[in-house]
Amino acid sequence: MRFLTVAATALALTMGAQSAFAAPVEIKFSHVVAENTPKGQMANKFKQLIAERLAGKVEVKVYPNSQLFGDNKVLEAMLLGDVQMAAPSLSKFQKYTKQLQVFDLPFLFKDMAAVERFQQGKDGQKLLTSLQSKGLVGLGYLHNGMKQMSGYAPIRTPNDASGKKFRIMTSDVLQAQFEAVDAVPLKKPFSEVFTLLQTKAIDGAENPWSNLYSKKFFEVQPYITETNHGLLDYMVVTSAEFWTELDDDLRVEVKKALDEAIAFGNEVAAEKSEADRQAIIDSPRSDVVSITDAERQQWVTAMKPVWKQFEGEIGKELIDAAEAANN
Ligand code: SIN
């Protein structure tokens, strides 16, 4: 009896020691933008909240600026277990689901409030599960903002874009959008954009204000046209395997911290859209071009047929639901 008690105590001590010294669950968070962006700030906030609340149990390591993976590789790496979280732009998921292409349709959302209404509504929330069959889990949306067009010469109408090379993300909708104005779209990783612009290997690009500013694209693009023609937002994703294997109590805490970090990131996105826009306007490096309603209408007329082109893949009901969020 005494032997059993001693053995049980020894076992309990060993197990206690093991859990006391068990390595924390590691969450590698990989992204491609700078730290002073909505995504960079959100990821750092998430790391901070986890360190405060789950020290010794979970550890977040953030890898910004494509240090670990570019967006075109990160989802494959996630499925292999080499990275646990990322927040690629919604334009970079088309290999995994066609439905998210809805977010790339030009001139779909009138402003970020409409985007928020759609993402938080029934259809937007359902899209978070659209990657499930591919082993990925959508944990939430994060805003960046509306995209602007930039170039070496002022771009006011579709005619000004005709024949010019524009860098795009890996999205067939974005390809169709530029082809609709007879431009030449080139799918290139974000990490290459500055050099492509600086060396004039391409003529222009489309980016939200915070990416134009934080990556210094405005220093190598003398004209930025305020087109607000499309959206650049993100989905925070993880692998289903990692997420389901996490202890239930840890999963709840991690999700709570992530939701708070996303809310913080969204505040940063709204502030940065304004502040970075103003910083670019104030800079002598580039001119911000405003277009008239009539000029804007020329872009809408040229690009809107892209909706019909992708209706079969995205689904008309989903497009209608997204458009209805404008009201
Ligand atoms: C990002 O904001 O994550 C990068 C988007 C891009 O590739 O243009």
Q: pLDDT of 116-144, one tens digit each?
A: 999 999 999 999 999 999 999 999 999 99
Q: pLDDT of 81-114, one tens digit each?
A: 999 999 999 999 999 999 999 999 999 999 999 9
Q: Is residue 213 part of a domain?
A: yes
H/E segment holding residue 25: strand 25-30
Domain count for the chain: 1
Q: Is residue 182 part of a domain?
A: yes
The two three-digit tokens of residue 258, written as one number: 């992530």
Return the ligand 1 atom nearest residue 31 CA: 3
Please say if the pLDDT value at position 15 is more than 50: no
Q: Is residue 235 part of a domain?
A: yes
CA of 33 to the centre of ligand 1 (A): 7
Return the ligand 1 atom nearest residue 211 CA: 2
Task: Please choose from 39, 72, 89, 147 the residue to mutate so as to test ligand 1's pocket, defined by most ligand atoms within 8 A of CB.
Answer: 89
User: What integer pLDDT is reported at residue 12 of this predicted model?
Assistant: 46
**In whole angstroms, how far apart are CA 273 and each of 5, 228, 265, 266, 269?**
65, 12, 12, 11, 6
Distance CA 98, CA 50 (A): 33
User: What integer pLDDT is reported at residue 170 of this predicted model?
Assistant: 97
Strand-pair partners of 150: 205, 224
Q: Is residue 23 part of a domain?
A: no
Task: Please choose from 36, 75, 144 the residue to mutate so as to test ligand 1's pocket, defined by most ligand atoms within 8 A of CB.
Answer: 144
Give the Cβ contact number of residue 221 at 10 Å.
24
Q: What is the three-class DSSP state of 95? A: coil
**In CATH, what number is assigned to the domain containing residue 282?**
3.40.190.170
User: What integer pLDDT is reported at residue 8 of this predicted model?
Assistant: 46
The model's confidence at residue 1, banded by pLDDT at 50, 70 and 90, is very low
Task: Tell the burial category of 59 from Cβ atoms under 10 Å away from its Cβ (0-12, 13-18, 19+).
Answer: middle
The two three-digit tokens of residue 269, written as one number: 């996105």
Q: Is residue 265 part of a domain?
A: yes
Please say if the pLDDT value at position 14 is more than 70: no
Q: pLDDT of 280-289, one tens digit each?
A: 999 999 999 9
Task: Please choose from 68, 171, 190 the residue to mutate so as to test ligand 1's pocket, defined by most ligand atoms within 8 A of CB.
Answer: 190
Distance CA 58, CA 51 (A): 8
Please say if the pLDDT value at position 34 is more than 90: yes
Distance CA 237, CA 60 (A): 15
Q: Is residue 236 part of a domain?
A: yes
The model's confidence at residue 178, banded by pLDDT at 50, 70 and 90, is very high
Q: pLDDT of 297-317, one tens digit each?
A: 999 999 999 999 999 999 999
Distance CA 222, CA 287 (A): 6
CA of 12 to the centre of ligand 1 (A): 50
Nearest to 38 by CA among 184, 143, 151: 143
| Owning domain of residue 254 | 88-324
Q: Is residue 253 part of a domain?
A: yes
The residue nearest atom 8 of ligand 1, judged by CA position, is 190
The residue nearest atom 6 of ligand 1, judged by CA position, is 190
Angle at 66 between CA 63 and CA 278, to 5 degrees: 95
User: What integer pLDDT is reported at residue 325 of this predicted model?
Assistant: 98
Q: pLDDT of 207-261, one tens digit each?
A: 999 999 999 999 999 999 999 999 999 999 999 999 999 999 999 999 999 999 9
**Sequence-ordered strand ranges (E) for 152-248:** 165-168, 184-187, 204-208, 223-239
Residues with Cβ < 8 Å from 262, sequence gap 6 or more? 42, 140, 141, 142, 236
CA of 86 to the centre of ligand 1 (A): 12
Distance CA 33, CA 6 (A): 56
Q: Is residue 159 part of a domain?
A: yes
Residues with beta carbon inside 6 Å of ligand 1?
32-33, 39, 89, 144, 169, 190, 211, 232
